[in-house]
Amino acid sequence: MSTAKIHAGMCGFDTLVEISMEEDLVNIVITSECEAIQRLAKELLQVNPYKEISYRRSSPQAPQLGMKYFTPAACPVPVGIIKAIEVEAGLALPADVSITIQK
């Protein structure tokens, strides 16, 4: 199993993404303090990892559901979901990602 712990930033909400491989698909379990992410989690339960990681091969569901259920385009949760999917499917090495904002 691969996990991603995502602290979304100014909203203060934390999200835990748990990904497990089952044959050619990944199962997704998302736990979040954010109501919008909770709605996304009810719909994003299983995906083909190859279709989820590339805009050229398909239309990834995580960003689509992000647009459907919440307003902030800069929310890092959909990207965090995709990163965890990549790792679990063996398509990327596990490495932390960060964004540092300054003014």
Q: Is residue 58 part of a domain?
A: yes
Q: Is-contact 81 62, C-beta < 8 A?
A: yes
Position 43 scores a pLDDT of: 96
| Rounded average pLDDT over 35-58 | 92
Q: Report the DSSP beta bridge partners of residue 17.
A: 4, 30
Whether residue 44 lies inside any domain: the answer is yes
Report if residue 38 sits inside a domain: yes
* Enclosing domain of residue 84: 2-88
With a pLDDT cut of 70, the percent of the chain lying above it is 100
6-30 pLDDT tens trace: 998 889 999 999 999 999 999 999 9
3-state secondary structure of 2: strand
Q: What is the CATH number of the domain that holds 32?
A: 3.90.1010.10
> Given a cut of 90, is residue 78 above it in pLDDT?
yes
Dmax (CA) for the chain in angstroms is: 46
Calculate mean pLDDT across residues 35-50. 96
Residue 93 belongs to a domain = no
**Confidence at residue 58, expressed as pLDDT on a 0 to 100 scale:** 83
The answer to whether residue 102 is domain-embedded is no
* pLDDT higher than threshold 90 for residue 72: no
Asked whether residue 101 is assigned to any structural domain, the reply reads: no
- Residue 96, domain member (yes or no): no
Task: Give the pLDDT of residue 70.
Answer: 83
Domains contained in the chain, number: 1
- Domain contains 19: yes
pTM of the model: 0.92
